[in-house]
């Protein structure tokens, strides 16, 4: 498992072959085994195999071809609807669901479960890539998947057999000292370490046949303004439309 964790790379080229029997259920068992805040379990998944539906979701996510290619697309949901239904059945208040805190609990729960499932898939030799592009059009995605109120797609995940003719490489990460602070937050040495990483990342980009650029410049550009959020700058409005009060 450790070897597989360290060998992670996002896979964006898949063979069309279906997944082995039982692998989805195994990954879900791994996902459900993850910690979940207060055991609320405020997440769900929609597993999409239908090619037409995958094609539509691919377009909604900004035309990402790997969603059409991979035989399985998992949509990971923050799902407060189940507790809303339980409250309604018992004529019990469920106002706690209206708070940003509970939404965040659902997002964290979904991410922990998804990463357990990702590790499971990768340990089976399968590849995955997360799809945040699914938040480009949250209401549209919700309609297509028949999501109830207070249920939103946090991200998608392509799952399939990696196409060995177009292998993905392990992407270097920031030096550990940049992300690991001991006892107290400390930025001494950050600039120098990031400068070193810019060089490493640039070499990686070159190796991959991608336009070489400094990681730090690219990331600063990525957060420069709402125009770089692919429509996700209106997420608060979309969440309101999906029934999240976010008080």
Ligand X SMILES: Cc1cc2nc3c(=O)[nH]c(=O)nc-3n(C[C@H](O)[C@H](O)[C@H](O)COP(=O)(O)O)c2cc1C
Closest CA to 120 of 41, 18, 24: 24
Reading across the β-sheet that carries 72-79, which strands appear in turn? 43-48, 72-79, 151-160, 127-131
196 binds ligand X (CB under 6 A): no
12 binds ligand X (CB under 6 A): yes
15 binds ligand X (CB under 6 A): no
Which residue number places its CB atom closest to ligand X?
Answer: 132
43 binds ligand X (CB under 6 A): no
234 binds ligand X (CB under 6 A): no
141 binds ligand X (CB under 6 A): no
133 binds ligand X (CB under 6 A): yes
Query: Whose Cβ is closer to ligand X: residue 219's or residue 246's?
Result: 219
Exactly one of 16, 18, 63, 132 binds ligand X (CB under 6 A); that residue is: 132
Q: Are 73 and 106 in contact (CB under 8 A)?
A: no
Closest CA to 178 of 215, 208, 207, 145: 215
**Stretch in the footprint of ligand X (CB under 6 A) among 39-47, 93-101, 125-133, 210-218:** 125-133
In the complex, least distance from residue 10 CB atom to ligand X, rounded to whole angstroms: 4
155 binds ligand X (CB under 6 A): yes
- Sign of the torsion formed by the C-alpha atoms of 127, 133, 135 and 138: negative
- Contacts for 22 with CB less than 8 Å, ≥ 6 apart: none
Exactly one of 24, 27, 45, 131 binds ligand X (CB under 6 A); that residue is: 131
230 binds ligand X (CB under 6 A): no
Query: Whose Cβ is closer to ligand X: residue 36's or residue 58's?
Result: 58
**Stretch in the footprint of ligand X (CB under 6 A) among 35-43, 96-104, 129-137, 181-189:** 129-137
Residue 94, classified by CB atoms within 10 Å of its CB into exposed (0-12), middle (13-18) or buried (19+), is middle
76 binds ligand X (CB under 6 A): no
Distance from C-alpha of 169 to C-alpha of 246, rounded to nearest angstrom: 39
Q: What are phi and psi of 154, to 5 degrees?
A: -80, -45
14 binds ligand X (CB under 6 A): no
**Beta partners for 14?**
162
Distance from C-alpha of 225 to C-alpha of 36, rounded to nearest angstrom: 33
Exactly one of 36, 44, 64, 81 binds ligand X (CB under 6 A); that residue is: 64
Cα angle for residues 155, 7, 203 (degrees, 5° grid): 95
Query: Whose Cβ is closer to ligand X: residue 86's or residue 170's?
Result: 170
Residue ranges that bind ligand X, judged by CB under 6 A: 8-10, 12, 64, 129-133, 155, 171
């Amino acid at each position: 498992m450790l070897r597989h964790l360290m060998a992670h790379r996002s896979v964006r080229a898949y063979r069309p072959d279906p997944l082995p029997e039982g692998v989805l259920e195994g990954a879900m068992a791994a996902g459900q085994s993850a910690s979940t805040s207060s055991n609320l379990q405020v997440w769900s998944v929609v597993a999409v195999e239908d090619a037409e539906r995958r094609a539509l979701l691919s377009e909604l996510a900004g035309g990402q071809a790997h969603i059409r290619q991979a035989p399985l697309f998992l949509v990971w949901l923050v799902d407060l609807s189940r507790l809303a239904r339980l409250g309604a059945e018992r004529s019990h208040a469920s106002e706690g669901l209206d708070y940003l805190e509970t939404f965040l609990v659902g997002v964290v729960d979904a991410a922990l479960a998804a990463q357990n499932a990702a590790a499971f898939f990768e340990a089976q030799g399968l590849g995955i890539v997360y799809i945040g592009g699914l938040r480009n059009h949250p209401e549209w995605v919700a309609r297509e998947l028949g999501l109830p109120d207070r249920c939103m797609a946090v991200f998608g995940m392509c799952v399939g057999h990696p196409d060995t003719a177009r292998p993905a490489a392990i992407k270097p990460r920031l030096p550990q000292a940049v992300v690991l602070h001991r006892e107290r937050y400390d930025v001494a040495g950050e600039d120098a370490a990031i400068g070193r990483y810019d060089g490493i990342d640039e070499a990686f980009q070159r190796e991959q046949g991608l336009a070489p650029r400094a990681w730090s410049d690219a990331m600063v550009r990525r957060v420069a303004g709402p125009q770089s959020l692919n429509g996700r700058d209106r997420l608060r409005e979309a969440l309101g439309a999906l029934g999240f009060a976010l008080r």
